[in-house]
A = this chain, B = another copy of it.
Amino acid sequence: MYLTASLHRALQRDPDATWTTFKGRTTTVADHAVRVARLAGALGNLGISDGERVGLWALNSDRFAEALFAVPWAGGVLNPLNTRWSPPEAQYALEDSGTRVLLVDDVFAPAATELRKSCPALKTVVHMSDRCAVPGAVSYEELIEGTRPVEDQRRGGDAVAGIFYTGGTTALPKGVVLTHANLLTSALGSHATAPTVQAGGRVLHVAPMFHLAGLSCWVAQSMVGGTHVMLPTFDPGEVLATIDEQQITTALLVPTMIQMVLAHPAIAERALTSLRVVLYGASPIAPTTLRTAMERFPSASFVQAYGMTELSPVATILSPDDHGDERLLASAGRAALHAEVAVVDPDGADLPPGSVGEVVVRGPHVMVGYWNKPAETEEALRGGWMHTGDAGYMDERGYLYIVDRIKDMIITGGENVYCAEVEAAIAQHPSVAQCAVIGVPDDTWGERVHAVVVLKPGADPDPEGVEKLARTLIASYKVPRSFEFRDALPLSAAGKVLKRDLRAPHWEGANRGVH
């Protein structure tokens, strides 16, 4: 079981089929494979051998897809970076993982060449571009042109496929270590539970492919064979035009995207009947939005997947049939065929149906652990189960309902924001004495980041100043969108901030959903 087996299968079945489509450029399976084999050779020449990390910091493109195969083909390990990260965040992931080679597109080339100066482990920046490489970087196209194809190392099974950094509950992100078997088991099991892609189908990649949700769509469509259609950024009008013009059969859309697509005027003009599956997840969706989407995409089946990076990523699935039952629209579905899901009390004991506890997951798709973090790994995987940090209950038929998050995390527009990281940034402002960050309901983003601040004696409220400082330290999506100033924070007897009390007035009457 290895990622590049999908490419060998596609070559065996139809080498002339279109594998990628990006900005009007199409590449066949055979051409894609040759470019992958050449790029793998070039990576080998750059010192990438068994288990070496290769970073990938780029928006979705056909070259992004080539790199996803070329790295394991060369024997390397993928380290896809969040495209919304600030340079210091990227630097942390590169240094923590010891990444030697970083592939970047035009957007990230300037930042990456700067990073190389301050990041001794990072030896080479490769610039994926239609133009010449920027100074300090090597040209991707010249590497491919100047290198002979090499044999696939067929790195697979329990070998590490990638390290995927997610926001940490401390101020620092953690590298989630996933094997080839992890990723392919989730793909195979999800496909066996409720297929989202079809052989010969055309999947739209508009959700970022560095993220496990987007990546898992690439794994699935690659596995069954078909065409990857990439959009580098999300624009609702462009999504509608692409579905129509590219005859898209499967689209992964996070709820925020669905809302924006539904609200766009072009939805009435575009032919959307090629769409056979809309896959959604990653954040709460309002049942009314879902119902509207089901009306607007009448040819499509709806599939909801619930999971997290640590689960490669799928744990439960709400199938197309389940969507026919109005009562189930608020559920995250049932355990996928590869996953075991349970709801447990703080001692790890199974809870009966209807009782709220922590959602835990077990199976061959559960991560190996957090890179170089044995204590955090042991804590997350205690008792052999992945502790999701989500609070939920299961009904009598095994349907899971997520009611809250145990981990202190916000999901805004599909991105995970760990409060501790934001709090650490805000705390650096000279006027801030104490601060607590919470998620509050937001019509567009599901939740938005909200900061409750206690000022130092004599200081004046300065939300603009705090925001400006935060922007230099963390990704913009993590920066609070609203502020509230108080004299003190509510504390528990043990001295912990009672975030529940801070959240309560905002959430009265609102729904919590899945991420």
Which residues of A are in contact with B by a Cβ distance under 8 Å?
A: 1, 5, 8-9, 12-14, 157, 181, 185, 188-189, 191-192, 195, 223-224, 334-335, 337-338, 340, 363-364, 394, 397-398
- In the assembled complex, the Cα of A291 lies from the Cα of B184 at a distance in Å of 36
- Copy tally for this chain in the complex stands at 2
Chain B residue with the shortest CB-CB distance to A157: B364
**Other-chain contact of A192, B188, B334, B340 (Cβ < 8 Å):** B188
A416 to chain B, nearest CB (A): 27
**Other-chain contact of A224, B337, B363, B398 (Cβ < 8 Å):** B337
Chain B residue with the shortest CB-CB distance to A158: B158
Chain B residue with the shortest CB-CB distance to A189: B188
**Residues of chain B lying within 8 A (CB to CB) of residue A394:** 12
Which 5 pairs show the lowest CB-CB distances between chains A and B? A192-B192, A12-B398, A13-B398, A191-B192, A1-B364
- Listed by A's residue number, 21 A-B pairs whose Cβ atoms lie within 8 Å are A1-B338, A1-B363, A8-B340, A9-B340, A9-B398, A12-B334, A12-B335, A12-B394, A12-B398, A13-B334, A13-B397, A14-B397, A157-B364, A185-B188, A188-B188, A188-B189, A189-B192, A191-B337, A192-B192, A223-B337, A224-B337
Contact of A340 with B5 in the complex, beta carbons under 8 Å: yes
Chain B residue with the shortest CB-CB distance to A12: B398
Contact of B188 with A9 in the complex, beta carbons under 8 Å: no
- In the assembled complex, the Cα of A9 lies from the Cα of B337 at a distance in Å of 9
**Residues of chain B lying within 8 A (CB to CB) of residue A335:** 9, 12
**Residues of chain B lying within 8 A (CB to CB) of residue A188:** 185, 188-189, 192, 337-338
- In the assembled complex, the Cα of A188 lies from the Cα of B186 at a distance in Å of 11
A133 to chain B, nearest CB (A): 36
Most chain B beta carbons < 10 A, residue from A5, A337, A338:
A337
Other contacts beyond A13-B398, A189-B192: 4, CB < 8 A? A5-B340, A12-B335, A12-B394, A14-B397
A365 to chain B, nearest CB (A): 9
- In the assembled complex, the Cα of A191 lies from the Cα of B462 at a distance in Å of 59
**Residues of chain B lying within 8 A (CB to CB) of residue A192:** 188-189, 191-192, 195
- In the assembled complex, the Cα of A189 lies from the Cα of B188 at a distance in Å of 6
A318 to chain B, nearest CB (A): 14
A333 to chain B, nearest CB (A): 12
- In the assembled complex, the Cα of A429 lies from the Cα of B357 at a distance in Å of 72
**Residues of chain B lying within 8 A (CB to CB) of residue A223:** 337
Chain B residue with the shortest CB-CB distance to A399: B13
Contact of B364 with A181 in the complex, beta carbons under 8 Å: yes
- In the assembled complex, the Cα of A335 lies from the Cα of B13 at a distance in Å of 10
Most chain B beta carbons < 10 A, residue from A188, A224, A397:
A188
- In the assembled complex, the Cα of A334 lies from the Cα of B8 at a distance in Å of 13
**Residues of chain B lying within 8 A (CB to CB) of residue A398:** 9, 12-13
A395 to chain B, nearest CB (A): 10
- In the assembled complex, the Cα of A157 lies from the Cα of B363 at a distance in Å of 9
**Residues of chain B lying within 8 A (CB to CB) of residue A334:** 12-13
A59 to chain B, nearest CB (A): 29
- In the assembled complex, the Cα of A31 lies from the Cα of B5 at a distance in Å of 43
- In the assembled complex, the Cα of A398 lies from the Cα of B223 at a distance in Å of 15
- In the assembled complex, the Cα of A363 lies from the Cα of B8 at a distance in Å of 13
A429 to chain B, nearest CB (A): 49
**Residues of chain B lying within 8 A (CB to CB) of residue A224:** 337
Chain B residue with the shortest CB-CB distance to A363: B1
A101 to chain B, nearest CB (A): 28
A323 to chain B, nearest CB (A): 15
A185 to chain B, nearest CB (A): 8
